[in-house]
Amino acid sequence: MSSGGLTIGDAAARAGLPVKTVRYYDEAGLVRPGRGANGYRVYGETEVHKLAFLRRARGLGFSIEACRALLSLYEDHGRASADVRRLALDRVAQIDDKLAELQELRQVLVELVDACQGDTRPDCPILDRLSGEEVP
Amino acid sequence: MSSGGLTIGDAAARAGLPVKTVRYYDEAGLVRPGRGANGYRVYGETEVHKLAFLRRARGLGFSIEACRALLSLYEDHGRASADVRRLALDRVAQIDDKLAELQELRQVLVELVDACQGDTRPDCPILDRLSGEEVP
DNA sequence: CTTGACCTTCCCGTTACGGGAAGCCCCACC
DNA sequence: GGTGGGGCTTCCCGTAACGGGAAGGTCAAG
Q: How far is the CA of A61 from the C1' of C18 (A)?
A: 25
- Count A/B contacts: CB-CB distance under 8 Å: 161
* Chain B nearest C-alpha distance from A37 (Å): 31
Q: Is A78 in contact with B121 (Cβ distance < 8 A)?
A: no
- Is the sign of the CA dihedral A105, A106, A112, A116 positive or negative? positive
A118 beta carbon to strand D: under 7 Å: no
Q: How far is the CA of A56 from the C1' of D22 (A)?
A: 32
Confidence of residue B136 (pLDDT cuts 50, 70, 90): low
Cα three-residue angle B90-A116-A131, rounded to 5 degrees: 85
Cα three-residue angle B64-B69-B75, rounded to 5 degrees: 120
The 8-class DSSP code of residue A43 comes to B
Confidence of residue A135 (pLDDT cuts 50, 70, 90): low
Confidence of residue B2 (pLDDT cuts 50, 70, 90): very low
Domain A1-62 has CATH 3.40.30.10: no
Domain boundaries, chain A: 1-62, 80-136
Tens-digit pLDDT profile for residues A10-27:
999 999 999 999 999 999
Tens-digit pLDDT profile for residues B53-111:
999 999 999 999 999 999 999 999 999 999 999 999 999 999 999 999 999 999 999 99
Confidence of residue A3 (pLDDT cuts 50, 70, 90): low
Q: Is B119 in contact with A81 (Cβ distance < 8 A)?
A: yes
Tens-digit pLDDT profile for residues B10-33:
999 999 999 999 999 999 999 999
pLDDT of res. B135: 56
B23 nearest nucleotide via C1' and CA = C17
Which residues on adjacent β-strands are paired with residue A60? none
Question: In the predicted model, what is the mean pLDDT of residues A33-48?
Answer: 97
- Mean of all residue pLDDT scores within chain A: 95
Question: In the predicted model, what is the mean pLDDT of residues A70-98?
Answer: 97
Contact B92, A10 (CB under 8 A): no
